[in-house]
Copies of this chain bind each other. A is one copy, B any other.
Amino acid sequence: MSRTISGERFRERFDRFNEIGATERGGVNRPTLSEENARARDTLVEWFEEAGLEVRIDEIGNVFGRRSGRNDDLPPVLLGSHVDSQYNGGRYDGVIGVLGGLEVVETLNAAGVETERPIEVVSWTNEEGVRFQPDMLGSGVFAGKFDLEFAYSLEDKEGNTFGEELERIGYRGEEPCEPRDLHCYLELHVEQGPTLEDRDLAVGVVEGVYGFVWFDAAFTGSADHAGPTPMHLRNDALVATGDVIESVRRIAGTGGDDLVGTVGSLDVDPNSINVIPERVEFTVDFRSYDDAVVDRAADRVREEIDHAASREGIEAEHEVIMRIDSQSFDDDVVEAVADAADALDADATRLVSGAGHDASYLNRVCPTGMVFVPSVGGVSHTEDEFTEWDDVVTGANVLLNAAVEKANERADGE
């Protein structure tokens, strides 16, 4: 029989936590290593300790809280997410995964349940990457993707280094930040897309994360006067870009079922009503769960960019600035999440995450899975971010039951 968390206790914690850095329009402003982020961390540490968790801070500031298991030498089940936010971001993104992990612990405490393995709850440092890039930094260093010294040397726009700021807020811990033996990692998170809401579902059983490719691209033509320059003597960088915008939509429509493509950023120079655009810089983002689909889309858009330039008689540049392979989560962990959703009779579907998460890096360290709850309107990263509380509770219940199942797995796999 499934266990259930206390929706009220969870909600009370959620609301109190989101008073930290609360914005007038109902969001939160807790960018990483800010004063508000420090206060959020302090609150978390206090609550972890109140719940009987043993708190450890690692060298990048990841905060761990540990609940012992019957067999405390076994690798633990790790639950978590992040509590840093976008500038004026939403209240759910990250927070429900960390406080959800704490709620799992509280539920087990209240019921006097001991698990075979220890359970740890983690809050990863700098998932959002708004103040220091790259994003998912704390989990990335933990997974060995980035060096610690690289992370310390990162600078924000004011020239403050990540290392100094981490020290300043008192969260440069002693525990080595490196891969260690974990039984599995589970993360509860908002979907940040519209699929669950569109299909009227409460829970997404996440099977993996899309691979993606990012391009920086540019066209350079001639900045001639929009009046006296006949159409046949133009070299218009924006007309070529218009072709690429259309191509990206066409490639996304024909390149694979799950392929998505976006031109998200575009800057025109000189950007004047009566001057033909001389230079346009723009980006292209393609994502799919199938890395071959991503690579084919990348090849096709390169051809399209070159062709658009040749058609318009202008110069083209394009460069891949990021290429991350898709991540397939562990079958057993995914199954545990799906079973938990089934047992709870939750309206659930299996899906793949289009956005990156700390879980993407943890998947390199240990068997990993995620639980999604709906983002109303597919909206995230803004103060308008919203999830029905009933859905958050359902997601936390799935997390609870999957975590307990995994935490009761014995060393011999029984």
Give which listed residue, B253, B268, B353, contacts A227 with CB less than 8 A.
B353
The distance in angstroms between the C-alpha atoms of A242 and B241, with both chains bound, is 8
Q: Mark A348-366, 1 if CB is under 8 A from B, else 0.
A: 0000011110000000000
Structural contact, B273 and A265, CB atoms closer than 8 A? yes
The distance in angstroms between the C-alpha atoms of A267 and B275, with both chains bound, is 15
Structural contact, A231 and B246, CB atoms closer than 8 A? no
Question: How far does the Cβ of A151 sit from chain B's closest Cβ, in whole Å?
Answer: 21
Structural contact, A224 and B379, CB atoms closer than 8 A? yes
Q: Mark A271-298, 1 if CB is under 8 A from B, else 0.
A: 1111111000001010100000000000
Q: Is A9 an interface residue (CB 8 A)?
A: no
Q: Is A212 an interface residue (CB 8 A)?
A: yes
Chain B: which residue is nearest A226 at the CB level? B262
Question: How far does the Cβ of A315 sit from chain B's closest Cβ, in whole Å?
Answer: 16
- Inter-chain contacts of A277 with B (CB < 8 A): 263-264, 266
Structural contact, B276 and A264, CB atoms closer than 8 A? yes
Copies of the chain in the assembly: 2
Q: Is A194 an interface residue (CB 8 A)?
A: yes
Q: Is A112 an interface residue (CB 8 A)?
A: no
Chain B: which residue is nearest A258 at the CB level? B230
One of A44-52, A161-169, A232-240 at the interface? A232-240
Between-chain CB contacts (< 8 Å), 18 pairs: A192-B227, A193-B230, A194-B233, A214-B273, A222-B378, A223-B382, A226-B285, A227-B354, A238-B266, A241-B242, A242-B242, A242-B245, A243-B246, A262-B274, A264-B272, A264-B275, A266-B271, A273-B285
What 10 new A-B contacts, CB under 8 Å, besides A193-B228, A246-B246? A192-B227, A193-B229, A194-B224, A194-B229, A194-B230, A212-B227, A226-B262, A228-B354, A231-B260, A264-B273
A residues sitting closer than 8 Å to B (CB atoms) are: 191-195, 198, 210, 212, 214, 222-231, 233, 236, 238-239, 241-243, 245-246, 249, 252-253, 258, 260-268, 271-277, 283, 285, 287, 353-356, 377-382
